[in-house]
Amino acid sequence: MDPSVTGIQEPFDLIRLSLSERVFVKLRGDRELTGILHAYDGHMNLIMSDVEETIMIVDPDNIANGQNVVNVAKRKMDMLFVRGDGVILVSPPSRT
């Protein structure tokens, strides 16, 4: 096992170590969340608080280059349940 990974035997350990921390969550449908992670389960259902949601509005005519986001909408929620099947990735705060 890689020595720089301390205490991670399975992917969910990464999430367990991020409880009560601010995490970044990427969802299907070009949505992104940042917020405090309070709870999760094996489906990757999440409870988050103090959440800011970012919705990328993508221009399909301009999809070939990396600069295809034409508009970004943001909104805030105090407390949020996220259904696990929409989750693409979760990134905890940097441990460095």
Partner 1 sequence: MDESPRPPSPSRQSQSPPPPPPQSHTGSPTDFLKGVVGKRVVVRLTSGVDYRGVLSCLDGFMNIALEQTEEHVNGVITNRYGDTFVRGNNVLYISAAEPL
Using the contact rule CB under 8 A, the part of the chain among 47-55, 72-80, 84-92 near partner 1 is 84-92
**Which positions ≥6 away from 34 have C-beta within 8 Å?**
22, 23, 24, 25, 51, 52
Single out the residue of 20, 60, 64, 74 in contact with partner 1 (rule: CB under 8 A): 64
Kindly state the number of chain residues that form the binding site for partner 1, as judged by CB under 8 A.
Answer: 35
Residue 20 near partner 1 by CB under 8 A:
no
CA atoms 85, 69, 72, 54: torsion sign: positive
Cβ proximity to partner 1, 17 vs 80, nearer residue:
17
Residue 48 near partner 1 by CB under 8 A:
no
CB of 48 to partner 1, least distance (A): 14
CA distance to 3, 61, 82, 86, 96, per residue, from 32 (Å): 31, 22, 11, 11, 23
**β-pairing, 46-58 with 87-91?**
unpaired
Q: Which residues bind partner 1 (CB under 8 A)?
A: 1-2, 4-5, 8-15, 24, 28, 42-45, 63-66, 83-85, 87-96
